[in-house]
Each structure stands twice: as structure tokens, then as C-alpha cells.
Structure 1
Amino acid sequence: MNKDNHSTRHPFYEETLESKPIFQGRIISLQVDTVRLPNGETATREIVRHPGAVAVVAIVDNKMLVVEQFRKPLEKVQVEIPAGKLDAGEEPEAAALRELEEETGYRAKSIKHLQSFSTSPGFAEEVVHLYFTDDLEQGTVRLDDEEFLTCEAITLEQALTYILEGRICDAKTLLAVYAWRLRTLTGSF
């Protein structure tokens, strides 16, 4: 929906009356908006701004490429599909190709967009663009200076076990595993 088109606004639309920047970081920013509710009352909304991200379901020899890394907000090591944030002005497909090679050392010869989804629409605007490839060739791992991870290829059964064990618990990787399982069972997404 176009936020500027007053004639087609949804009855639940919240008009922004004021927006106050609170924090500007390298990856995210935080603002507090004062909004007019549908009933005419006002409320505040805390909003995290994020440039968006990409993630890749990459299958090689019937195994999914995953990375294992420490996630400070959770205070634990997680197994996740290759992913990363969009750089300024970067197209999602280009970012997906870049992140896949940087984190796994594999280069996708072709890639397919599966879905774009909001991660936490109650407080964040982040959208993750999920891609699929099984058309891979060897490339070069190029981790960022602050990035420490290992890459492995796991079977669908291992992925399901990792979910049960809590080693996989992030939304993008859960979605990836279930999409891969659907493709394995039906032949399509």
C-alpha cells in the first residue's frame, strides 16, 4: 500500500505525527514515532530501521550449506544458512551471490528468489530476501574482519535434528529447512 495515498488507507492505518531519532549505528537505527490511532488517540511506536538482508538456501550434493557462528544477542553459537545485510544501493540478488561466496566459498552459477519476508514487523522494518541455488561451483571464502564462522554441508535429517536441539532456531534458517524439505518431498517449492 502506498503510505502517501490518503484515499486508499486501510482503516487500521496509523498516521505518523512526529518521528524522533534515538540512535544511529553502523547497521541499525532506532526512532520513536508518535502516531494517531484509528480511534483518534495517540500512541508511541519504537521502530528499528535496517537496510534489509539476504539469505541463501544452497544445496550441494543433496546437502545444505550452513555456517556456524556465535550470536551475541542470543549468547550462543547458532547454525544458520549463509546470510548478510544489504550494502547501500545493493540489489538483493547481487548481495545473495556475494554473501554466499564470502561465507561458504561457493559461487552460484544461477540463483532463484523464493520469498521476501519481514523478520519482526511489530518493531523492525527489516526484510530478508531468501534465495535458492543448487547450481554451484567452487569460489573463495572472504570473511569480514569481524566475522568468525565455519561452513559445513548438512543433510536434511541433520538439519531437522539441529532444529530439535536448538542449534537452528532463527526464522530464516527454519524457513529454509522447511522449504528444502517441501522441495525434497514434492519436487518444487
Structure 2
Amino acid sequence: MTALDKASPPRRTAFATACAARLTRLLLQSEATSPEKETLTNAIELLRADLRDSGETEVDWQALLDHVMTLLPGEDATWHDVKSLLDDSVAAVAYAIRTRLTGSSQEAAWSARKCYEYFDSVANQDFCRRGVEEPTDLMLLEHPETQKELRRQHDLLEVLKRTDMVTASRIIGTTTG
């Protein structure tokens, strides 16, 4: 049984939301202008408010999820760093909303996975800049960026074990690390 399996549904939602918030913040800091940024930010804020309000926020979560899913870049979109970040951000937010809807540890894990995949791609780009065209999975796993993300996720789970949801909603706002 994993730490996410042991966590309560609100803590799973807090974890998934923190992962999604981290990617969304990176997207906001990027030079890209994108209408998706506002929708993703609003979704994160609704999830945070719901945690603060003990699940009493009046939101049609399914409608929000459906709207967020329309933001996924299409297959014909030009692939570049910002599209990758947008794709990972949208997916992580969608998984956070699904975690809120279902309480599923698997949905929370998928949100975390999108964070890991983004930092894995950052590591891959770093290796390519240094002339390593095909880094191994182990090289990518051991890269400082992916290790930093794995530590952030581990530390976040540890903090969430010991905190109330009001504090958790505040923590989500500080997970840029």
C-alpha cells in the first residue's frame, strides 16, 4: 500500500492539486500567451477553496473537468517545450479534479506522474544540450531535476500527513520549489 493509498481523499486531492499547481505556475511563468492559463489557474483556485471549505464549495466538478479536457492540445499542434508544459499542466489539473470527484489514489498518482514526466523532459533536454542524444532511463531518473521533483512529491506527502486541509490549501500555493 502506497502513501497515497493510505491518505484520505481530501489529502489525495491536496497532493494532486499541489502537483497540478506546480506545473500551472511554470506555465504562467513561461513566455507563451495562452488562454488556457486563466482556466487552469481558476481550476486550481477552486480546488484550493474546496479544501479550505471542507468540500463544501459549490462547483460542478464534472463540468469543470469536461471544460479542462477541451484544453488539451490537439495532435496537430506544433510540438515544442510550451506545448509539452501545457499538455502536462492540463492533464495534471484534470487528474486533480478527478481525484476530487472520485477520491482515487490512482488519479492523484497520475497528477504526480505528469509532474515527473515534465521534469523528465527537462532532464532529457539538458542531456541533449550536453551532447547526450539518447540518455538512458536511469540517467534521466538520476538527473538533478527529476530527483528534485521526486523529493518535492515525497516531502509534500509527508507534510500532508500532519496537516489540516486549511493549511494544506495554503501549502498548495507555495509548492513551486
Fold match (TM-score > 0.5) = no
Could you say which structure has the larger radius of gyration?
1
Structure with higher RCO (Cα < 8 A, 6+ apart): 2
TM-score, normalised with respect to structure 1: 0.23
TM-score, normalised with respect to structure 2: 0.24
